[in-house]
Amino acid sequence: MATRTKAAPTAPSTMKELKDTLWKAADKLRGSMDASQYKDVILGLVFLKYVSDAFEERREQIAAELAAAGMSEEQVAQLIDDVDEYAGRGVFWVPDVARWRYLAENAKGGAAASDGHARSIGQLIDEAMDALMTANPALAGVLPRIYNRDNVDQRRLGELIDLFNSARFTGQGAKRARDLLGEVYEYFLEKFARAEGKRGGEFFTPAGVVRVLVEMLEPTKGRVYDPACGSGGMFVQAEKFLEAHDREGSDISVYGQELNERTWRLAKMNLAIHGLNGNLGPRWGDTFARDLHSDVQADYVMSNPPFNIKDWARNEQDPRWRFGVPPAGNANYAWIQHILSKLAPGGQGAVVMANGSMSSNSGGEGRIRAEIVEADLVSCMVALPTQLFRSTGIPVCVWFFARDKSAGAGGSVDRRGQVLFIDARNLGHMVDRAERALSDDDIARIADTFHAWRGTPSVGRGATKERLETPIAGRVATEESIETTPEYTDVLGFCYSASLDEIKAADYALTPGRYVGAADVEDDGEHVQLKIERLTKELFQQFDESERLAAAVREQLGRVER
């Protein structure tokens, strides 16, 4: 086959340019594919690029190590293909036909098969996926084999391989390939979630929401579990938290379960890209019908399960329903009780729920909630702003649980018999007309308030100068106090520490707005009656101006008609 001459590419120089370039190129592939098919095609390629890059990087390291040991080129050639040298560093073994260089060389022409006929790039990619899964049992049945189908434009697929090949994943100031490709993968997940609309919410939870859970629970070691793990976002954010605090990803063990087959595959690839060895079960499955991790007791449980499921595998004899059998028409309290059943002694949990879960009394939910509160398992309730989820307009909250709220079990302050309520509905900013996002400072304010309440010294860890000057739960952090245990105080309109007696008096409703009160409105010094008169006058003036303009428009239109 003739060698193709390729022009030197102009590589994106920043992460934003890299993401935008790859997305625009990937967007060419859509054609007759719907968003879900298109997602599988692109994310499979991102994964293939990652494993190949990681393999080549490790191969170069082994060669350098052997050469430094005084070995000849022949000896290096004999030892460089020792599979254990790759597996021992968490690197997948990549056979020749699955290496990106081979695919890039044949992206347009296609390698010849044994019968002499050229194979399409789609066929080559499918073969690469097969080879990877055969060589790495952990990937068995995970990777997509969808590239040689009629609805995949082979010419554009070849162009996309070219572009992925030429993009600069390393360079001045760049992170290592795993982190860069991990960012691209997450970026694509978010873009696909938006493209799929409501269905996108089945596999993607906005990063800001996930960070609220992670920053408050601070999963630094032990077992982390998610019973509805989607594409693995909770685990990835936990790994990022560890990295930000100079911890190793190996400090946590990841366990998850996912009902949707394609989403389960996405999660497996996502964990691999981020270097996380996760146990997501031998296959996908319904957590209620069959718990694939029935023997796991977790130190941290974090989840964003589907809200308000009406058709679920309900078994009234299930031992997980310690506080009452959830109603057949709504699985919210099934998720909550499943999570509670998974907490190890001293364990903590967090679950994103529809706001209705905080006060609903239908189907016995009020009684179940009362039992959970009286068992002193709820540590904190956070009401989040609206429009954080593009896939649903339902307002959401986060329930936080703790097996033990005594001093020393998760903080220096004994919080037994108390629940912290945080009303964060006024935080966040609009990204566009349909979606709101939480800023770093918003997330920090919520998390720091919780840690101040629990008396953990991690409050403000990594704070910026701006955050140091921001009031947090009734106090102001300083450079000197940033690693000390701060003192918590209630903040009107934002946070309140309620006793179980107060919650019982409110009929066990857990809506933060009931407890935090309304924030004081700054007095501008203008008498209320005078302000009403002034605003009324201004309004009527606007009405008059509107009528004048409407008359002028009518007059001009009349002249045109004549």
Q: 317-333 burial, b for 16+ CB within 10 Å, e for fewer? A: ebebbebbbbbeebbbb
Question: What share of the chain has pLDDT > 90, as a percent?
Answer: 44
**C-alpha to C-alpha distance for 527 and 517, rounded to whole angstroms:** 24
Answer yes or no: is pLDDT of 457 > 70. Answer: yes
What's the pLDDT at 177?
A: 52
What's the pLDDT at 530?
A: 73
Mean pLDDT of 225-230: 94
pLDDT tens-digit series, residues 132-176: 999 998 888 889 998 998 888 888 888 888 877 766 554 433 345
Q: Using pLDDT thresholds of 50, 70 and 90, give the confidence band for residue 35.
A: low
Give the residue with greater pLDDT, 341 vs 432: 341
pLDDT tens-digit series, residues 84-122: 988 888 789 999 999 999 999 988 766 655 555 678 999
What are the structure tokens assigned to 548, written together?
């004048």
Answer yes or no: is pLDDT of 327 > 90. Answer: yes
The pairing of strands 429-430 and 396-402 is: unpaired
Q: Where are the domains of the chain?
A: 15-190
Q: 128-142, 456-470, 539-553 — which one is most confidently predicted on average? A: 128-142
- pTM of this structure: 0.77
Give the residue with greater pLDDT, 506 vs 527: 506
What's the pLDDT at 249?
A: 65
Please report the sign of the dihedral spanned by the C-alpha atoms of residue 170, residue 176, residue 179, residue 182: positive
Q: Which fold has domain 15-190?
A: Ferritin (1.20.1260)
Give the count of beta carbons closer than 10 Å to the beta carbon of residue 24. 10
DSSP string, 402-429: ES--STTSSSSS--TTEEEEEE-TT--E
Considering the chain, what is the average pLDDT of its residues? 82
Answer yes or no: is pLDDT of 376 > 50. Answer: yes
Beta carbons within 8 Å of 156's beta carbon, 6+ residues apart: 28, 29, 31
Q: 9-23, 260-274, 280-294, 475-489 — which one is most confidently predicted on average? A: 280-294
